[in-house]
Amino acid sequence: MGETPGDRAGEAGTRLEGPLRFAFWDVCEDIVRENLARFTAETGIPVDGICVRGDYEAEVGARRHDEDGPDVFHAQRAEASLWADENKIQPLDEADPIVAELILGMDAPLVEGARDPAGRLLGATYYNGGPLALFLRPGRDAAFETWDEVVDACRKAKRDGEAEHPFVPRWHATQTGLVWSLLALLASDGVLTLEDPRAESALAGALGFLSALVEDELVPPASLSDRGDRAALERWATGRHLMTFTVDYLAKDAAEIAGRPVSLPAARLPGLAGTPLMPGHALVCLRAGLGGPRRAAALRLAAFLGGPGVHRRWLEERLFAVPRARLLGDAQVRTAIGNAFAAPDRAASVERLAASRAAAVASPISHRPFMLAWTGEADRLIRGPLLGERRIAPAHAAARLLEIWNRLEADHRASRSG
């Protein structure tokens, strides 16, 4: 991996009172710790890596501003929006040479996506959550113009005895689960914000799609009880289902579970626009209040973790989307990506994944400080009354979701003007 702004050694490590504290979520802990060890070896700055295995938002959110809390931490984009609004994140100073060099090599749209409404850069992009992709079984290529066509194909597969539950959804009960799938459906129809005049109609259509999957028993019945990605991946890895709609990098995880590639990206994402969405935008952030040598060391760690060497490793080893599109043109990277896909379709799969990522957009909804609150209420409404209990119609649920959003926005505006 090449040198990054965070790679350059200096004296900061020798002036710290204790190691830097870095909090990260429970994803690929071994790779994270190896990256931290490399940072320490190259800079002399010690780091205490804290892997948070429970509710990350609750645990880190409660301590992110404490002097004995983490100095540097992961934040999903919605978390960063909330914590920055609460003045608990120290924005990156773009006049600092380390930051200037860091963002110079990043894709401009994702640099912009890391800013708050005031234009402050909230953190270094670590990797991106998404985009979501429609995967088919290898050898079962198909193109769908609309999500209704997807439902029709699933109904036929069930009727013909090809699959009892043709569709594997990503509906787990976390901030990155069911609601991310909903937002990706909206984006595929060209709706990126809930202020869009088409939002209510698009919501009703997306919720109608989800409802049809449940009502016609096209999805495994346990899907609404999932607590994370693993259960859905294990279902998909069996090869007993026709298609799945999930984060594109999980094709790698599914192949590892199955012991063979099991995913073929669809030629086109269904929907009026077919726009792929990256609902997640993982940042490396600094705690507000840091100063002196500790701030300097923390900035170097953030720059290292958001640098090209770490980004390349995430892309090659875990297929994570990173904010450096040019890496997808590297022959070694493309070979590594291809390992997640079956040989007959490998070249086409890599091209489709690369094209989807090139067309993907970040989610403006995640930039609102009340996004996490809305996510919780939206998940409960969709998972319970709409899909689990089936006692409200999609159009009613769509109207309720907009009412909740508008209420939270008004409450936030009032809290800032009071």
Q: Are 323 and 374 part of one and the same domain? A: no
- pLDDT for 1 equals 41
pLDDT in tens, 321-357: 999 999 999 999 999 999 999 999 999 999 999 999 9
Q: Are 180 and 73 part of one and the same domain? A: no
Tell me how crowded residue 282 is: count the other CB atoms within 10 A of its CB: 25
Q: Are 136 and 113 part of one and the same domain? A: no
Q: Are 88 and 137 part of one and the same domain? A: no
191/402 Cα distance (integer angstroms): 13
By C-alpha distance, which of 250, 171, 175, 242 is closest to 211? 171
pLDDT in tens, 309-323: 999 999 999 999 999
Q: Are 313 and 178 part of one and the same domain? A: no
Q: What percentage of the chain's residues is helix, strand, coil (to nearest 5)?
A: 50, 15, 35
Confidence of residue 275 (pLDDT cuts 50, 70, 90): very high
- Quick check: 383 pLDDT over 70? yes
Give the total number of structural domains in the chain. Answer: 2
- Quick check: 7 pLDDT over 80? no
Which residues are CB-contacts of 112 (< 8 A; sequence separation ≥ 6)? none
Q: Are 176 and 310 part of one and the same domain? A: no
404/161 Cα distance (integer angstroms): 41
- CATH number of the domain that residue 378 is part of: 3.40.190.10
Q: Are 115 and 258 part of one and the same domain? A: no
Q: Are 52 and 197 part of one and the same domain? A: no
Taking residues 204-216, report their average pLDDT.
Answer: 98
> In which domain, by residue range, is 119 found?
5-129+280-332
Q: Are 379 and 256 part of one and the same domain? A: yes
Confidence of residue 135 (pLDDT cuts 50, 70, 90): very high
- pLDDT for 385 equals 98
Q: Are 233 and 303 part of one and the same domain? A: no
DSSP string, 99-124: HHHHHHTS-HHHHHHTB-TT--B--E
**Phi, psi dihedrals of residue 126, rounded to the nearest 5°:** -90, -55
pTM exceeds 0.85, yes or no: yes
Contact 247, 177 (CB under 8 A): no
pLDDT in tens, 29-71: 999 999 999 999 999 999 999 999 988 888 887 765 566 789 9
Q: Are 148 and 178 part of one and the same domain? A: yes
Q: Are 305 and 375 part of one and the same domain? A: no
Q: Which of 105-119, 193-207, 226-240 has the lowest mean pLDDT?
A: 105-119
